[in-house]
Structure formats: structure tokens, C-alpha cells
Amino acid sequence: MMEDLSQDEWQEQLVDDANAVILDVRTDAEVADGIIPNAIHIDIYKGQEFINEIEKLDKSKNYYVYCRSGNRSGQACKIMDELGFENAYNLEGGMLQWTGDVVDK
């Protein structure tokens, strides 16, 4: 299942989810500006390499996916849905609207 969540919904759901994995699909240059704590980074612009890396992940986990604005993460969630992941949640507004914690990668 793929779902778009508002910033508040995404953060609230993430806090209570023991099965959560945060996924950052931005470029290396974007990630250099800071990353959400504990996120794993796989750049969606890497095409087939992105698919290969995504395929290695545990499909039974709940993935909270974000990018800069919410567009690429939406695409990533669709791809994950097609690959058989149980749950992928897209952060609407992405890092542009993020008010939570950010750490250096």
C-alpha cells in the first residue's frame, strides 16, 4: 500500500511505528545539506541501481519515504508498491516543509 501523508501525519505515525524505516531518495548533494536522523539514503536518480538497492530491503517493514518536495518520494513509493512492499508512505512537501530534526550525514 502506498499513501501520501501530511508532514504532521508522517511524523506522528512514524513515532508510534516499531516497524518503521525512513528512506531518503534525494541526491548526494541534497543529502549533504542534512538528513532526517536514522534515514537510509538511496538516490532515485540512479535508475536501475536504485531498483537493485530497494530490492535488497525488507519488504515487510513500513517505509517512510521523502525527498526535497515530495515528487520523487511519491515515485519511489509507487515503485516500491509495484515491487511488493507492504507499506510505503510519502512525505508531502518533503524537506522543503520539514520542521523535524535534521543531522549531518
Which residues are catalytically annotated? Answer: 67
The residue with cell 510505503 is: 88
